[in-house]
Structures are given as structure tokens and as C-alpha cells.
Structure 1
């Protein structure tokens, strides 16, 4: 299977030709799975027009077909099995062949700051059943990098150890959720390091998995002194979009067909605002036809300065969702912009808020010497942005993120049965 590479096309017409050339094979693969075989009957679709007539595939379809109702190859051909995190309900199954993994790894590695053999790459997202850690691991190995499999759901990898590894191994690239990078900064300071000074090998922070406001991205860059590069994808599909050198997110339309669904009318289009629908083109183990990710996005075909003939996407997610306060909708994205709009000298890394019916209550973790100024500045910023009552409380450092989280070393042991007289035998048979 020959996969298209960036630069294989120069125009939207050439990009569309790449899609049209692969679609018959993709549709044939799909017809081999029990789910699509039942849905399609004898009428196997052959082209883009046929694809457009098919009903959307939903997350509930994936749940209903658990575990292997969407399997389109022999079980012996599978390389890995995964499940989504289940944050929005019952987890969805997902599986890939070894050839599917080449496509997955290549898409993830499409970073404008490339991954190379000289890199030491810290993977700080979950492994287990989710795809995210395995995906970055595979992409880094594909390009010869040294992988540090840090995980972020393991007691064996506390933040004190993350900081030690970042520093002592001279890590050059990392993959994590954006919040992780702020936790590392706090843990680094607790260990006596300066995030922007004492990690000179670091080249970039790759992030994904949660909404990221422009202000928080800028603050992370300011703290660490390196670019923050975002990407977008899912366990069911792998990477779907990544940033160009101009900082805009582009959909990988040479590897998938994308549509935007208007949930009110049920109509789809190539661009606009709505829910993202995707048909991966090089997915054989578990083909997905018109899969509705249910993510709110804004897709545009406007020309980008980078020259990539790929549509751009803004992932709206929770940025468009809000809570009412005094008759005004308050969103996390906007509040985050205001919090990280505070001067860096105030040293605010962590915050939380509660939208009560009549007042927005915010807490920010801030050193004593900056507390009054930071609270006053944030209160004024919120009133200016929303014109609503606001109660900003500055809390001591260590309130929202305890110091023990940043500096602790967990006692991870293997199960034991026999202990010495001076040992704690209550740890018998425990893994933690």
C-alpha cells in the first residue's frame, strides 16, 4: 500500500484525485465487515457519490458492535486492540493491522518541528487500551527517535521522576496534555530547576487531548521557551489534523475524507461549522464510513500561508459550551484566556471556577506577594469581558495542586508474601 505524502499534490483538485483513487478500495474493505455488510446489502458503494448516500456511522454503532462487529480482516491480521477513554459513555472498540499502523504513525509524525534519530522523546500520555501513548511511541520509533515511555496513569512515574527524566536524559520532544506541561513547570521549580533555563535540549512540546486557549499556549511557551505544537485526533481514527509552521491546524485530507455536519438540518458540506464526520482512507482492519466524531469544529478551505493545499480546522469543543451566570454565558475557554492573560510575574499556573447562578467564583493559586494584585487584575478582566458579578480568591501555592503531588515518590512494590521483622507486612500482595 502506497501512502500519499505531504507535497504529493499542489492543488485542491489534485488532493481530491488522491481521495477518489483510494475510495473504491476503502469502500471494498468496509463491505467485508459484518456491520457494513449488513448495512450495505448487495449494493457495495464504489465512489464519492455512493459514499454520500450512506447513513452516518455513530459512536453508538461502535458500542453496539463491540467487540468485533466492525472487523474487516481475519483476526490473525490484527496488530493491536484499543478502546476509547469512555469519558462520554461506554468505551468504543478500535483495532488496527500492522499496515494500518504505518498510516497512523506517519500522520502523527507530520509535525512542522520534525521527529528524528537524534531526538529523545518523552511520551507522557496513557498507554493501556487508549491509542494515544502507543501512537506517539510508534511515530517516534518510525523516525528513529529514542522513546521514553513515561505514561501518565502509572504510580511508577510521579512528577518528580518526570522532571528528573526531562533534565537528566536531555529530552528534546514531549507528548502530553497541555495541563501536564504546567505541572512539570511547578515540579521543576520544586526540584530547584528553572523551566526555561535548565532544560536546554528541549525543542518543542507536542500537546493534545484537551481544549487549549491561545493565552494558555502562549504562557506555556513563555515558561518553557519552546514552541507548543497542538494536534487533533481520536482513538477511533488516530491523528486527524496537525499544525503547520504558521500555527494553523490542517486536516489530513490526503488520508481521509472529511465532512461537516449541520446537526439541525442533517446536511453535510466540505466546510463550515458543525460536527466533524470522517472516512479514513487507509484503515483496513476496521473501516469507518462517514463516522461522526460529534466534535464541534469549524473547517475552512481558505488559503494558508504555509502553502499546504489542506483545509484548516478549529476544534471548538468545550470552547463553545458555557454556563449561565447573571444571564450571561460564561465559557471555560474565555475564562482561561483571562487567567493566563495575567502577567507571568504573578506566577499563576493553576485555577478553578464555579458558575453559580448569580456570581462567577474563581480561585487562583498565587504566591502571597502577588495575591492582591493578581486577584484585583483578574476581577477587573472578568468584569470587563462579561459585566457580571465575580468573586476571585487567591489561594496559597499548594492548595489546588498539593506539593506532595509535585515532589512525592510513590512506593511501588511487587507483591510479596514474606517480610522481615522490621518491615511492614501490611504490604503483602500489594502492587502499590
Structure 2
């Protein structure tokens, strides 16, 4: 079934946006009624069919997807499926997700909504996994839908070490990249090891597309200033595809013409259209695997304040997951808050790589920093953490190359295909193995 998808500019107010959403709800509920999970949840009575019915339904959680692995959420014939995916979660159980070819039209179109543009003149370097996760496939589909050239860079695979990444970025005239926020910092370090200047010797690069990790303003500024190009943030998941992207004003907007979005408070059990809490989403054009009020469990803040871009879409701040919060001295510490402080150090200190361990009474922080900058960086970071987080901390300087070893940035591993016939001087213990 071909979907008629809303496009930016099809509505001119939040009221018109709401009308678009409500018009699609009956179709979403009808698709869901074909899935075993929702048929069981709806019971023997008349299935829900109105926005009011949807608002009365319980949340769908990640465990629901895991419990129905692999195809208990399927709402179409298997013959109609185009792709099968699983999320990158570390719960130990698979979180399945699947899409039809028609679903992929919506997926690719949402990802391609980049304010910098994605055109046939672009070369997009995709540095995310091309495995069961959707991230690499999503970027490739979006780029090809706009006619762009795709360089499938994969993610930290044996076939794509950082030396090869830098060569591709430089020699192929890459104009756009897609990765997690950590990667451009790794590329900068690897580029310098190879004798390149990150902001000078890659003249074709015009923007970095980032997603997959919470990105604080301070780290964003460091990445952008290092490469001297705009950073364009993306928010999504394997279960849903792209959920939000940046406008020209630098604000993250939810693709609410394609989604119904809510905020859930675990403390009160209430759901509301805006505020801070866990993000709950209902994709409006997902036929293969409808998700009704799906709780992503990400801590977010949603607002309907007006934005100068004129898109008339709600904005979202992604703050991470509460499950990753730690307690030190009775006070909460999040990676998001700590990252903002670390990258708030002056860029002249060249601190890019760090780690922290939260113990009951002390927060231990390690930073890579050259000897010449330690006298400034260590006391400044200690004072900032104590002031901003209110916890005792101990900051330890490490020699550059400790957290990210130089060989990781410079290695050129030999990718060997399986072989079973070897010569007299070859190690046949490696026969039939990839290394």
C-alpha cells in the first residue's frame, strides 16, 4: 500500500499539524489490529479506531518486542517484508524490527530532511554499522533517494580502520558524513597522525551528520570548530527510524507530521504532549510493525514554543537514559552533564578523550592531556565538576595515547579471506579463519 506522506510546508500552524496526525490515527490502529501482539491486547471486542481510543491504550515497551521475538509484532504477510533489523541494546535479548518497501519510503524521507540539503552532488560517508541495526542502511537509503554517492564506511570493522577512513574522507572528496558524535574526534586524532589538519585539508567537507549518542552543546561546539563545518544532529532508533532533526535555527524538531509524540512520567504515570520525561512515540506510517505509544525510555524534554524556522513542529532535547545515571555522595551524575563540563574546558587544552568512574563517595575522572596543559586543565576541571555537580571528584591527567592508543589510529590491518591450502612456511593454524 502506497502511503501519501506529508511534506514540510503542507501545514502552517500547530492546529493544522494536529489535524494531519489525527487523520492518520484510524489507519495506524487498523494496521495494529492485524499484529498478533495488538490483537491479543485489544481483546475480543471492537478494536480501537479513534484518537480517543489510542489515548486510552497502555504503553508498548521494549520488553514487549523482545517477548514477541521474532515476528509477534508483524502486521503484514512475510512476503511483503523488505528488511529485518535488531536494535543495538545490550539487554541480552533481541529487540526485533521490520519494514516493508513502502515503510522505507517514509524512513528514507525522514532521514533526508537535513537543512543543509542532501543532493546528487554530495558524497556521503556512512560510518555506522551495516549489520542488524538500521543506522547504516537508513543513511544509505536516504542518500540514494536524493541521488547522492554513498561511501559505506561501516563502523570500526577490520576492513575499515581509521587509516582507511581518513584516506577515504580526503581522497574521495567526501562532502557529508554520518556517525556517532565520538567518531569525528577520533577522525581528528587519526588525521593528525597521518599528517593532515582536520579543518584545513578536507576542503570538500561541508557538514557532519551526528546521532546515536546524546550530544551536549560543548562537545558539539568542539567538533564543529575542529572540522570547521556545521554539525547537524539526528535523533532516532532502529525501532522507529529518524524521529527528529535540526532546523536552520539549530533546534531539534520532532517529525510530528509522521509521528504522535508524548512524554511519560514514570513517577506519576501521566502522559502529556510536552515537558520532561520518557519519550513515547506512535509512528503514523509504519505498516509492517505498528507501534502504539512505544516507550523508547529516553529522557527528553519536548516543547511547542515557536521557532524562527517556520516548520511548526515541536522541539526536543535528548538527555540520555535514566538507567545510565550514577550516584556519588548521594547526588546524581549523568554522562550528559559530565560531558558538558569536560568539553567546557578551553579548546587550547586539547582534551578530547576522557573516562569517569562513579564510586559511592568520589567521582574519578581521567583525561588525556599533554604535560604543558595539565597545570591548567586539572584544577579547572576539578573545580567545575565540584561546582556544577556538587560531588567530590578526583581528576587524573593521562598521557595522550592512553585512552585511545596511537596504534588504533595508525594501524593498517591485513584483512585475510579464509584459506585452506597453505604453503610450507605459512601458519596453518589460521586456516579458514578471518583475521
Can you list the C-alpha shifts for 1:175-219, whole angstroms capped at 9, x where unaligned? 111001111110000000000000111111111111111111100
Q: Secondary structure at the match of 2:220?
A: helix
- 8 Å CA contact 2:129–2:155 kept in 1: the answer is yes
Provide the residue aligned with 1:159 in structure 2: 162
Number of paired residues? 432
The residue correspondences of 1:196-275 to structure 2 (distance < 5 A) are 196-275=199-278
Q: Secondary structure at the match of 2:22?
A: helix
1:427 shift after superposition = 2.3
- 8 Å CA contact 1:121–1:145 kept in 2: the answer is yes
- 8 Å CA contact 1:121–1:171 kept in 2: the answer is yes
1:369 shift after superposition = 2.2
Provide the residue aligned with 2:35 in structure 1: 33
- 8 Å CA contact 2:363–2:392 kept in 1: the answer is yes
Distance 1:5 1:11 in 2: 14
Provide the residue aligned with 2:101 in structure 1: 98
Distance 1:324 1:73, change over 3 A: closer
Unaligned runs of 5+ residues in structure 2 are none
Matched, 1:15 2:17: yes
The residue correspondences of 1:375-414 to structure 2 (distance < 5 A) are 375-414=378-417
Distance 1:310 1:369, change over 3 A: same
- 8 Å CA contact 2:361–2:392 kept in 1: the answer is yes
Matched, 1:86 2:105: no
Provide the residue aligned with 1:117 in structure 2: 120
Deviates more, 1:229-238 or 1:412-421: 412-421
Distance 1:98 1:374, change over 3 A: same
TM-score, length of structure 2 as denominator length: 0.96
Matched, 1:289 2:292: yes
1:415 shift after superposition = 0.5
Distance 2:421 2:358 in 1: 53
Q: Secondary structure at the match of 2:223?
A: helix
For 2:131, which of 128, 131, 139 is the aligned residue?
A: 128
1:147 shift after superposition = 0.4
Distance 2:321 2:41 in 1: 33
1:320 shift after superposition = 9.4
1:318 shift after superposition = 4.1
Distance 2:73 2:267 in 1: 28
For 1:53, which of 53, 56, 76 is the aligned residue?
A: 56
- 8 Å CA contact 2:362–2:391 kept in 1: the answer is yes
Deviates more, 1:101-110 or 1:26-35: 26-35
Over aligned residue pairs, what C-alpha RMSD do you find?
Answer: 1.6
Distance 1:387 1:302 in 2: 31
Q: Secondary structure at the match of 1:317?
A: coil
1:380 shift after superposition = 2.9
Can you list the C-alpha shifts for 1:131-187, whole angstroms capped at 9, x where unaligned? 111001100110011001111042100111101100110111111110011111100
1:26 shift after superposition = 1.4
Distance 1:388 1:70 in 2: 45
- 8 Å CA contact 1:260–1:272 kept in 2: the answer is yes
Matched, 1:344 2:342: no
